[in-house]
Each structure stands twice: as C-alpha cells, then as structure tokens.
Amino acid sequence: MPAILVAYTTALTAGTALFGWNLAELNAPQNAIQEDLGLGAAQFGLASSILAIGGLLGSAAATPSMNAFGRKKILIGTAIAFGVAGSLKAIAGSATLLTLGRFIGGIASGSAAVIVPIYINELAPPASKGALPNFFSGALTQISINLGILSSQVLGILLVTLENKGQWRFILLTGGIIGFLQAASLLFLPESPTSLVAAGKIGEARRMLVVIRGTSDVDEELASYQSEPREQQPEGTAETENIAGQDPLIVAEAGQSPGSPDTEPARETTPLLGGSRTTEAENSPIGLMEFVRKREYRSGFVIVAGVMLAQQLTGINAVVFYGVSILNDLLPNTAKFLNAAISAVNLLVTFGASFWFDRVSHRTLLLGSIFSMGISAAILSICIACDLAIPSAVSTLVFVTSFSMGLGPLPWMVASLRIAQKGIGAAQSIALIANWMGTFLVGFVVPVIADAAGMYIVFAVFAVLSFLCFAWGVYFL
C-alpha cells in the first residue's frame, strides 16, 4: 500500500479507535465517577449503556448521510461529535450531562463504524481490493477498536491518582481532544473517488485519483467506476465482485444462501456457510421488512440476528465496560494493570486470528469461541464466588481471548457470506439492531445485577447464555 494511503488509513481509523475508547473509557474510573457524581448502579449502567442507543441511531443515519453529502463531510462531523461528547463528559457535574455526552459519543461511534471501512476500501488501489477485503471488513476495524480500548486502559494506569477527585475527567477529555484532532486531519484527505463519481463529479474524481495513485494513468480505473451498475450493489462498493472490505457493518463478500439458485452447496471448509455469488439479475436490493417476513430469507434472518446476539449475550462487554470492577475486589492494587494487560492480549489475539479466517472453517471458529467463553465464564463465576484472585484473572483473560478468536470479528462477515446479495443490506440492518440492542442490555444490567446479587451471578448467567448460544449454533450454523 502506498505511503500516502497508509497516512490516510491512520487518520481514518482514528474514528474506529475512538469507538473503542468510548466503549471502555468508564471502565477504570468507575468508582471515582460514581463517588464524584453520586451515581447509583442503575444510573451508572444507563450512562454506560446509552452509548449503544446512540450507536444504533448513528449507524442508521450514516449511510443515507454519506450518500447525500459524501464520506468526508460526514466523517468530519463524526469526529467533531467525538470532540463535543468528550468535552461534555469531562465537565459533567451530574448523571444527565454524563449520559448526554455518552449518547453523542454513541452516535459518533455508530457513524464511524459504518463510514471508516467503506472510506478506506474506496481509497485502496483496485489491485488490493480482492486481496484485503476480509482484513479491512473484519480485522482492521476490530484491531483499531481494540487499540482504542487498550489506550483508555493504559491512560487509566498512568493516572496513578485516579481515585482522587476529578482525575477521571482527563480520560474523558482525552477522547474529545483526539476527536477534534482527527477532524482537523481529515480536512487534508481527499473525498472518495467512488463517492465523487456517484455524485457526477467526474473531473474532480479524476484529480483525486491522480493524487492518491501518484500517477496520471487512472483512466481505466475511473471508467470502471463510471460503468458499474451501482444501483444494484450496496453503497460504498467499488466493484460488483469486490463488495468486501467495507466495515463491520457493511459487506465483506457477497454470497448466496445454500439451496438457492446459482449457489454451490456449502462445505465445512468453506468460510461460514457462503456459496457462490448471485447473478446480476437477482441483485435488486430488498427492504428490511421484506427480509424479515419472506420465507426464503427466514433462515438467513435467524442466523444473522442470532450470531450478533450471541456476540453480545455471551458477555464480552461486561469486561469491556466493567473489567476493573470485576477484578477490583479480589485484586484492588493490580486490577487496572491486569485489565490493561487483558486488553493488550485481546488486541494481539485479534491481529493473529485475522490470518486464520481464510484457512479455518468459520463455523468451527465461532462454535469453539462460544463454547470456550461459556467454560471460562463458568470458571470465572466460581472463582469470584470463592475469592480466588489469580484464577479469576486467568479466567477473564481466557474469556476475552476466546472472544477474539472467533466471536469478535466473524459475526460481521456472516450476512455477506450467508445471504443472497440482494438481501445483504437488509441483513446488515438486522445485524446492527441486534448488536446495539445486545450491547445496551449487557451494559445496563451488569452493574445492576452485580450490585444486587454479586458479580459471580453475572458470569453464571453469561455461562448459561453461552451454552444456549452454542446449542443454537450447532443447529443453525
């Protein structure tokens, strides 16, 4: 990849890194925030989980907004929203302002998660789009999110006086500062050539291609953008056959449902349950309600919604949101360090696992990930109940690692590999709704249940849910 594209990618992925930052920013300073603002468990749970409601709205608004105004303008607005959200949270004197800041940060997070990978894929050279789609669609986004999570944890460690009054505000403000800096850096990025062509700005698209590619020999690539039947493919794609690599919320690789026309039977060695691509005549997009109601899409609906709910109901965001609290009672002096170490391992495992996705059956990885999370959640529940500090930390690490090896990035690829191309957009909408609502549910109920019954009950529930998800996966995946 040319150096200028590396620079562009770095500036763009700051958006998904800020998504991760916002997910985890309340983790380390939870006790200080609750004490300073006088928040109960339910109030803090709402402030944490409201991010998901904002994320759902931001994701839903991202596609029509970027199609109307262009990727660059909307992404700059998203970065500014991160900045405003961080500023509001940093000056919060009550639950109301903190929750409002989290809600705005959620809108920005949802928007960034949709737009950033689409933007990156459209800037990438045509020769790379077939080789890198799965990396861009699943791994790169997940890696940048994990990097944001880790960064917020490391800052919590650096603030050794975190429990002193007001220190937590700096963590929240830092996310805002990064947002404003990203907005400034995005001013120097070109608009996506694909987006410019779609808007009829052919001359400007050619000028941008010359800058990005470093050569004036761009006529063939420009002609491919002008000639492609864009109305028959999801927004943001560069080629009918290369609709992958867009984001964890858009498509990775178009596929037909097994048993439908022009589809080869799925094999165990085939990633997920994908088959061959549909013919162009079948690619007219369908609406969300049609996808939900039509019998031919029933199996796809169950799989897409189920795997995204499994991603959340197995409990990963309990650790992302409240990892320090989980370990704090058992290891009060090292909980922040251990939680950051777990985040670092999560980042490394996600990066390493990305090289397996085209070599190992996705079904095997997903089922193995879910089952391992269930086992480790059950062990963690027992360890917390018995006040076993070190085994609790190890179980938490195994729990997070199991998630990173399958259930983290792979669900975002399910719709694009399992659903007929004309149903991908609707399927991804279902995935978004299921994922964000699962995030809200986990984020809200964990502190409430932990306060009422204990953290060991929380993970006992996640263990049961994990085994139920595993049984579902054995039958449907």
Domain of 151, CATH number, reads: 1.20.1250.20
Which residue did the predictor score with more confidence, 330 or 216? 330
Contact 374, 466 (CB under 8 A): yes
Q: Both 419 and 302 in a single domain?
A: yes
Average pLDDT of the residues in 317-324: 93
Q: Both 304 and 440 in a single domain?
A: yes
Confidence of residue 4 (pLDDT cuts 50, 70, 90): confident
Q: Which of 114-123, 221-230, 285-294, 399-408 has the highest mean pLDDT?
A: 399-408
Token readout for 317 is: 């965001």
Q: Both 53 and 111 in a single domain?
A: yes
Token readout for 175 is: 């996310």
Q: Which of 226, 250, 274 is the last residue of a domain?
A: 250
| 268 has a pLDDT exceeding 80 | no
pLDDT at 418: 77
Average pLDDT of the residues in 5-9: 83
Confidence of residue 228 (pLDDT cuts 50, 70, 90): low
Q: Provide the number of structural domains found in the chain.
A: 2
Confidence of residue 139 (pLDDT cuts 50, 70, 90): low
Q: Both 233 and 287 in a single domain?
A: no
Of the given ranges (143-147, 232-236, 439-443, 457-461), which has the lowest mean pLDDT? 232-236
Q: Both 46 and 34 in a single domain?
A: yes
pLDDT tens column, 363-418: 999 999 999 999 999 999 999 999 999 999 999 999 999 998 899 888 877 776 77
pLDDT at 375: 98
Q: Which of 230, 250, 270 is the last residue of a domain?
A: 250
Q: Which of 205, 226, 250 is the last residue of a domain?
A: 250
Which residue did the predictor score with more confidence, 348 or 251? 348
Q: Both 122 and 259 in a single domain?
A: no
| 355 has a pLDDT exceeding 90 | no
Chain mean pLDDT for the chain: 82
Q: Both 296 and 195 in a single domain?
A: no
pLDDT at 160: 52
What is the domain extent for residue 430? 253-477
- Closest alpha carbon to 113 in 287, 277, 241, 246: 246
Q: Both 119 and 181 in a single domain?
A: yes
Contact 88, 99 (CB under 8 A): no
Q: Which residues sit opposite 242 in a β-bridge?
A: 239
pLDDT at 207: 85
pLDDT at 241: 31
Q: Both 246 and 268 in a single domain?
A: no
pLDDT tens column, 412-460: 777 767 777 677 778 878 888 898 999 999 999 999 999 999 999 999 9
Q: Both 330 and 474 in a single domain?
A: yes
Q: Both 421 and 459 in a single domain?
A: yes
Q: Both 90 and 156 in a single domain?
A: yes
